[in-house]
Structure 1
Amino acid sequence: MGVLFSIVLPVFLLVGAGYFAVFLKLFKDSAADGLMVFTQKFALPCLLFSGIASLDLGAELDLWLLAAYFGSAATCFALGILGARLLFGRPWTDCIAIGLTAMFTNTVLLGLPVTERAFGAEALGPNYAIIAFNAGFCYLIGITSMEIARAETTGFALVRTVADAMFHNSLMIGICCGFVVNLTGLPIPAVVQDALDLMIRAALPAALFGLGGVLYRYKPEGDMALIAMLCVLTLAVHPLLTWTIGTYGGLSTGQMRSAVITAAVAPGINTYIFADMYGVARRIVATTVLIGTALTVVGASVWLMILP
């Protein structure tokens, strides 16, 4: 277990460094926002572009891999909604934001570095295959469900609302550009690739430090039973269902590692952005992101011990 902690802990030490840097006023809260803007709008899109552009689509885009991860994600979305409604009596709009939090894991800022630390950069192919569809899948389900629950957008306007949210997202733009290069075989000039590599090396460390700084503002408070339910769904049920479906589908060892570890990490900041955009369940989602990120240290270590 000590060896496993040595794999996972450095990732969260960076998050903790950002958290305490803001707490001790060594790093301004506004600077953490700026760092997250840099990583999410520039550095991480470069990372995803490069990863998708060089991805062996024939080898990595396996239907059972996608079914294992996204089938379990959709199930957690439904369970989150039902739990929030039936057990806690939350309004439907709150339930949608809570359901999205149950399925939208932090595939980039946590899933990638934990997998890379554990199994090496060459093991990230299945991660990129999942990431390529994750934001689109979650936004499609979440925004469509929310707009229906609010009954304010229908028909073509609903399609436009969903598309606008997805394709104004920098991470989605990076993914789409990566697919264009991959499918067309367009060469990337060496000088451009060198610049991308410089940006990519900064992406994950800066993003993890910035994530910690941003998380400082979300104080753990209120609705702890509902938050506990969300943590169980996202940190235990999601990876367990992924492992079950993946076992049935005969996923390779590498695919199973990437899918389960990605499913076992905390919800991402995007879940809070979604809740804030609609003005619902903000405190619940923010606290779940904070507590779930801390608990991922233990959860990811347990799954690393279980996986081959």
Structure 2
Amino acid sequence: MSAVFVNVAPVFLLILIGFLVARTGLMREETGDALAEFVFKIALPTLIFRTLAEAHFEGASPFRLWIAYFGGVAVTWTAGHLIAKHVFGRDDKIGVIAGMSSAFANNVFIGLPLVGRSVGDDGLVALSILLAIHLPLMMVAGTILMEHASAKVDGGGRRSLVTVLKQVATNLSRNPLVIALTFGLAFNISGLGALPVVLKSVVDQIAAVTAASALISLGMTLKKYPVHGNLSLAAVMAVLKLLLLPAVVYGLAHLLGLSKPWTAAIVLTSSVPTGINAWIIATRFRSGQSLAASVISITTITGIVTVSFWAWLLS
């Protein structure tokens, strides 16, 4: 257990450092935003590009990995939506935000550093394969469901599926992570071999600062997601996020016969705190912002315990 804690604790300690730096005013909030922008636009894309460019897939199919992970997402999202609607008596819009908050893991800012430390390169390859469709699929699902819920709750028309898909596709085409995934896979299958020595040195140095920068920047942004309102519902969604989602992914990964590194990678990343995308969708549709913010903060505060448990189980 001590070895597991050595891998997990630094991840959350770096988040705590970022939070304290912002909370005490040691660094301005704008600095945290700038650091997060550097991580999102340069550091993480560089790490993803290098991982995929140098990966040895050896004919491994991604479909079982996707089925295991998104099967868990579907079960958890559905459970969160139904609990919010039928147990807490909330409307369909809150139901969508609740479901999304319980099923949208922070795979990028926390998942990548955690998997890199705990599983290694094989785990990063698995996570990169997951990220290839994670953001597009989750954002399309969240947007379509919120469009439907808004039309039902607020009345009026809703945008067509084609319009929604065009908007999401446009946004994703400019997303640095999607671009890095595309170029990394293209380089891998091109047969060009290893990266040139000078370029590899630069890429390695940028990739080396990714984990710490991502976690500290995340901690600095937590001030934007205070725990307030919807506490009972948020607590239940946090339990679904930290326990139900990884449990279902774990079970499906074993049923589908995924390798040990790939199983560890997708279970660990499914166990991390909720990502900010749930809050982005809530803000876009002006419903459930406080719920999404509370789930983000609660899962981040308590995540060190549950993530350590899953890391121990997987070890």
Distance 2:98 2:204 in 1: 37
Q: Which amino acid aligns with 1:101?
A: S
Structure 2 contact 104–278 (Cα < 8 Å) conserved: yes
Q: Residue 264 of structure 1: which of 271, 276, 284 is its match? A: 271
1:90 aligns with: 90
1:4 aligns with: 4
- 1:181-235 per-position Cα deviation (integer Å, ceiling 9, x unaligned): 2333356443333222222112221111010000023221121111111111111
1:253 aligns with 2:263: no
CA distance 1:200–1:15, change in 2 (3 Å): same
Q: CA deviation at 1:59?
A: 4.3
| Contiguous gaps of at least 5 residues in structure 2 | 152-157
Q: CA deviation at 1:42?
A: 1.7
Q: CA deviation at 1:80?
A: 1.7
1:216 aligns with: 223
Q: CA deviation at 1:25?
A: 0.8
- 1:151-174 per-position Cα deviation (integer Å, ceiling 9, x unaligned): 421043222122123323222222
Distance 1:276 1:189 in 2: 44
Distance 1:225 1:95 in 2: 14
Note the aligned Cα RMSD (angstroms): 1.9
Q: Which amino acid aligns with 1:219?
A: P
CA distance 1:180–1:280, change in 2 (3 Å): farther
CA distance 1:99–1:185, change in 2 (3 Å): farther
Superposed counterparts of 1:28-177, under 5 Å: 28-151=28-151, 152-177=158-183
CA distance 1:254–1:23, change in 2 (3 Å): same
Q: CA deviation at 1:81?
A: 1.6
2:184 aligns with: 178
Q: Which moved more, 1:211-220 or 1:17-26?
A: 211-220
Superposed counterparts of 1:11-26, under 5 Å: 11-26=11-26
- 1:265-299 per-position Cα deviation (integer Å, ceiling 9, x unaligned): 11112222222222221111112111101222111
1:291 aligns with: 298
Structure 1 contact 60–126 (Cα < 8 Å) conserved: no
Distance 1:103 1:285 in 2: 11
Structure 2 contact 136–168 (Cα < 8 Å) conserved: no
CA distance 1:190–1:144, change in 2 (3 Å): farther
Give 3-state SS (helix, strand or coil) of 2:72's partner: helix
- 1:52-93 per-position Cα deviation (integer Å, ceiling 9, x unaligned): 222334444432222111111122122222222112222322
Q: Which amino acid aligns with 2:231?
A: M
State the 4+ residue runs in structure 1 displaced beyond 4 angstroms: none
Distance 2:304 2:212 in 1: 17
CA distance 1:257–1:148, change in 2 (3 Å): same
Count, aligned residues? 308
Structure 2 contact 144–161 (Cα < 8 Å) conserved: no
Distance 2:134 2:161 in 1: 24
| Contiguous gaps of at least 5 residues in structure 1 | none
How high is the sequence identity, in percent, across the aligned residues?
30
CA distance 1:307–1:174, change in 2 (3 Å): same
Q: Which amino acid aligns with 2:234?
A: I
Distance 1:19 1:294 in 2: 11
- 1:122-159 per-position Cα deviation (integer Å, ceiling 9, x unaligned): 54222222222211221121122222333421043222
